[in-house]
Amino acid sequence: MRIALAAVLALAATPSLAEDMVFTLVNDSSHTIVEMYVSQVGAAEWGENILFAPVDPGVAGEVTIADGLDVCEYDMRYVSVEGGEAEDTQNLCELGTYTLTD
């Protein structure tokens, strides 16, 4: 009985691994998005561009944030093909879809 209990306690003490954050990005703006950067809220620097292809107006696609963090709130920065930028902060755990508008 002690061995089984020790095994259960050991499993309970093991930290869970963070899962990738996955959500749908809908580009409902009039601009093609060519770059998207994310960071946890309050971070000093942006992460790397996580878009692998441009997102044209009217297009939706799945976005994966594979940063290994166990957080929900992210700062997000979008860059359009024209060089315009937009920033937002969202709790992505509460969203299944994020819609970018003008």
pLDDT means per 10 residues in the chain (102 residues)?
A: 38 50 91 94 90 93 85 92 94 87 90
In a domain, 11, yes or no: no
- For residue 68, the enclosing domain spans 17-100
Q: What is the pLDDT of residues 40-62, one digit of tens each?
A: 898 999 988 999 899 999 999 98
Please give the pLDDT value at position 49.
92
Q: What is the CATH number of the domain that holds 51?
A: 2.60.40.2890
In a domain, 1, yes or no: no
pTM: 0.75
Spatial CA neighbour of 19 closest among 63, 68, 74, 76: 68
Structure tokens at 3: 């061995």
Spatial CA neighbour of 56 closest among 98, 25, 89, 23: 25
Detail the DSSP E strand segments found in 1-102.
Answer: 21-27, 33-40, 60-65, 73-80, 85-91, 97-100
In the chain, the number of structural domains is 1
Spatial CA neighbour of 20 closest among 62, 54, 58, 56: 62
